[in-house]
Amino acid sequence: MRKKIIIGNWKMYHTLNSMQEFIKQVESITFSNIDAGIAIQFPLLIEAKKQIKNLMIVAQDCGFEDEGAFTGVTSPKLLKEIGVNYVILGHSERRNIFFETNEMINKKLLKALKNNLNVILCCGETEEEYNSKITKDVINKQLSTGLKDVDIKDLSNIIIAYEPVWAIGTGKTATIEVAQEICHFIRQYIKANYNSEVSNQIRIQYGGSVNSENIKSLLSQKDIDGALVGSASLKSDSFIKLIS
């Protein structure tokens, strides 16, 4: 039985003060049957690790080397040292705004795994690709390059998040059928390229305009093991609804 995992992706929202307000509201919430966490800006990570006991602390990106002359980049080794649980890699905003390629994402992923960080690898098609009915080709390419050279034993440290780009921040959630179909396709990809045991174990999230209204039906699907949630995770009351 795969444990559900719900991560709030705060993107470039929240300050130290507003995070502390958020923590006050959520710190007494107990939940045992799901994993929950927040993906926050780098300067908040250390304080969040100190203050938050019931949520996993997630970074939104990392570099592809442990150290070096990479101005503005955060080291995966440092993220591990400060106790970060997961790092999101290949989010569509990283791909589209910061021109990250599948090859670059693969380098980051291999380095993150080497540092014993868990990874949430995002994939998903643009609206144009969706309309051209090439979603599966796009996902196939994102996974084959993104997971290149990943050893089967490391798959237990990876979550794959299917996030159709046209559904992110738009209020246009993929239908339950589409979300399930593509998450199933991802599981089949893992089965074909690794084996059925790991494909049964790997957790696959859906992301894109998830909110407290649609989360239950999305999570009831056979191949959807959680959600990556942007705007609906920012306010504590809305976040609490997602995880309870």
Give me the least distance between CB of 229 and ligand PGA, in Å please: 5
Q: At what angle do helices 176-193 and 135-146 cross, to 10 degrees?
A: 40
Give me the least distance between CB of 53 and ligand PGA, in Å please: 24
Tokens of 177: 């059928």
Closest C-alpha among 147, 162, 164 to residue 223: 162
Which of residues 121 and 198 has its CB atom nearest to ligand PGA in the complex? 121
- For ligand PGA, the nearest residue by Cβ is 230
Angle of CA points 179, 26, 116, to nearest 5° = 65
Give me the least distance between CB of 9 and ligand PGA, in Å please: 4
Exposure on the CB side of residue 207, measured as CA atoms within 13 A? 32
Which of residues 94 and 187 has its CB atom nearest to ligand PGA in the complex? 94
Which of residues 90 and 230 has its CB atom nearest to ligand PGA in the complex? 230
- Taking the C-alpha atoms of residue 154 and residue 206, their distance in angstroms, rounded to an integer, is 21
Residues engaged in binding ligand PGA (CB under 6 A): 9, 163, 168-169, 207-210, 228-232
Which of residues 105 and 198 has its CB atom nearest to ligand PGA in the complex? 105
DSSP string, 219-234: HTSTT--EEEESGGGS
Task: Name the catalytic one among 93, 100, 125, 163.
Answer: 163
Active-site residue flag, 125? no
Give me the least distance between CB of 161 and ligand PGA, in Å please: 7
Active-site residue flag, 91? yes
Closest C-alpha among 142, 163, 165 to residue 224: 163
| Residues acting as catalytic residues | 91, 163
